[in-house]
Amino acid sequence: MGKNGSATNLRGHEYEEADFRAAMPAPKEGIFLPGTMIEVIRVPTSPGTYRHVLFDFDGTLSLIREGWPDVMIPMMVECLLETGTQETEEELEDTVRAFVMELTGKQTIYQMIRLAEEIKKRGGRPLDPTEYKRMYHDRLMARIAHRREGLRSGQIRPEEMLVPGSLELLEELQRRGVQLYLASGTDEVYVREEATLLGLDRYFGEHIYGAIDDYKRFSKAMVIEQILATHRITGNLLLGFGDGYVEIQNVKEVGGTAVAVASDEAKKSGQPDPWKRERLISVGADLVIPDYRDWQTLIAYLWGEITAPCVPRESLGKECV
């Protein structure tokens, strides 16, 4: 996938990540595997056949950047206030929060492109979106510096900065002989560095991919296309985990199985984040989990070693799950 594992040359054409598009409503109450928080929306069609497993990074495995909206949103509000708009700070915050969350899951640059558009709409002269991304990263790095340094020095254990159960799940997947991939909308240089701080590089090796400045030359969809083409496999052999709509959407588009990680990043409560749950189900997630505490049952179910209770779910077009 390019030199040093980079995904910059996955395809010879440019690719723009698709916007969020809801495919189905989220049920108010799901069907759970007994004694777990594993919610089954659709029965996996190819249990036990997975050979390649794709993970998103931030919010799916890593919690190093937890709280990032509290950095991005105020920065954008400041930029919009500088246009001289008559909107109040509260009104701008509502506007910004809406489009930031709507674009969450895509590469960071897309949020900055939207910021530039909003500045122009208000009569301002926007900077290049890459400049806004640099400003955001500088502020975010200042906010999370103690986390990164704590991991580097050993004062913070990797488990403290990971979605609960991450290491156990990865160990089991590696034991089962599947190839693991990490693909993130965060810049690749940061993803590689933070994956190493968390000790995740030993699971993914060179298969760690992230955003680049020429953002149309990278996407999670490109990574997936290359996995399928390189190994000459069909999408049903692909399993994906993510807390953003992009990776769920991309995995489902090729016929893979998608596990939505509706992680409660701040509290690690073991309960699914309601906003993430609804959003990820609506783009086709097959299962929803809050974290990986029930990793043993999750893997056993995905590999067809156990089955779920048969309960009618006519609204989802299935006889039972």
Residue 39 CA: distances (Å) to CA of 190, 214, 241: 32, 38, 14
Cβ distance 36 to 294 under 8 Å? Answer: yes
pTM (whole model) above 0.85: yes
In the chain, ranges of CATH 3.40.50.1000 domains: 3-63+162-316
Spell out the per-residue pLDDT of the chain, length 321, in tens: 443 344 444 444 556 777 787 777 767 667 899 999 999 999 998 888 999 999 999 999 999 999 999 999 999 999 999 999 999 999 999 999 999 999 999 999 999 999 999 999 999 999 999 999 999 999 999 999 999 999 999 999 999 999 999 999 999 999 999 999 999 999 999 999 999 999 999 999 999 999 988 888 899 999 999 999 999 999 999 999 999 999 999 999 999 999 999 999 999 999 999 999 999 999 999 999 999 999 999 999 999 999 876 444 443 434 344
Q: Is 3-63+162-316 in CATH node 3.90.1150.110? A: no
